[in-house]
Every structure is written in C-alpha cells, then in structure tokens.
Amino acid sequence: MSGELPISSVANGGAERLSAAAMGIVKNIFTWWEGSTFGTWLNTVRHGTRVGEDSQGNVYYEGGKDPNGLTRRWVIYNGANDASRVPSEWHGWLHHSIDGPPESNLPPPRIWEAEFTPNLTGTPKAYRPSGAIEAGGRRQMATGDYEAWTPDA
C-alpha cells in the first residue's frame, strides 16, 4: 500500500492506515499556507464568481457583500500563499481601486514598465549584502570617517 501513512487507532488498539489522499484532505482543512483552506474552497464554490486569472495562474473571485456594502473579493493562489505574488493591477482590483477586471479597465502596459518579480526573501536568490554571513561574512573596512563608540569618550 504505497502512499499511505500509518496512524494508531485507539478503538481497536491496532494500526490502521490513512491514505495520502485522505491525509491531504485533513491537511487542507487545518492549514492555509499551501493553498486555500476547506472553508475558502467551500465559500468559493457556494458564493464565488470567477472574475479572472493573472499570468501566474492565481484566480480571482468576487461574491457577497462585506459589512460596508462592498463586494467581497479574494484570490486563490496557484502555489504558496504569498501576497507579494499578486500583480499590481490585480491588487488594485482586490482593493476596489478599479471596478472591473484589469484587462478591461486599465490602459495597456507602458514600454518602460518592468515585468513582475516575486519576493525573493528567504530564497537562495535573495539579496545578500557583502557583510552578510550567507555572502561570506566579510565587508569592506571602515573608512576614516568612522570612529567606534567607547564609554569613556
């Protein structure tokens, strides 16, 4: 039985097996960092209307009203839940800066606009200044305009 994880059963004192698919469902109910939770999925199925999808595969929905009378809007991420993965045009839509989907409510991108880049913090591609431990821990010597603090000074 590949793909199954053993878990103990108190009822019969023996070892029962829970399939990887069932474990995935249980994990989905209680975790939020690897996709939408069961509650978000259920709300999306029951009340959500798909509005669009961005270049990264994130899907945007709206439905219902919040306490202020605004339409609720949300995103189901394609991959890890990281708000920095929402492109600026969709960020504007999520926060009601524009009414309709960005494709029909924004001018075409300008030639000088840069493509979206993800937040690289915590990855091997993150910026490391010369004095960072990950970059070797060495930095340039202080110049003559620096004087270390001493308690007697």
Q: What is the pLDDT of residues 127-140, one digit of tens each?
A: 888 777 777 777 77
Q: Would residue 45 be called left, alpha or beta, if left means φ above 0 and alpha means ψ between -120 and 50 degrees?
A: alpha
Residue 87 reports pLDDT greater than 50? yes
Question: What pLDDT was estimated at residue 62?
Answer: 93
Every domain of the chain and the residues it spans: 1-30, 37-117
Under the banding of pLDDT at 50, 70 and 90, the label for residue 15 is very low
Q: Which of 86, 84, 90 is nearest to 106 (CA)?
A: 90
26 to 44, 75, 77: CA distances (angstroms): 19, 22, 19
Residue 50 reports pLDDT greater than 90? yes
Alpha-carbon span 103 to 92, nearest angstrom: 12
Question: What pLDDT was estimated at residue 91?
Answer: 92
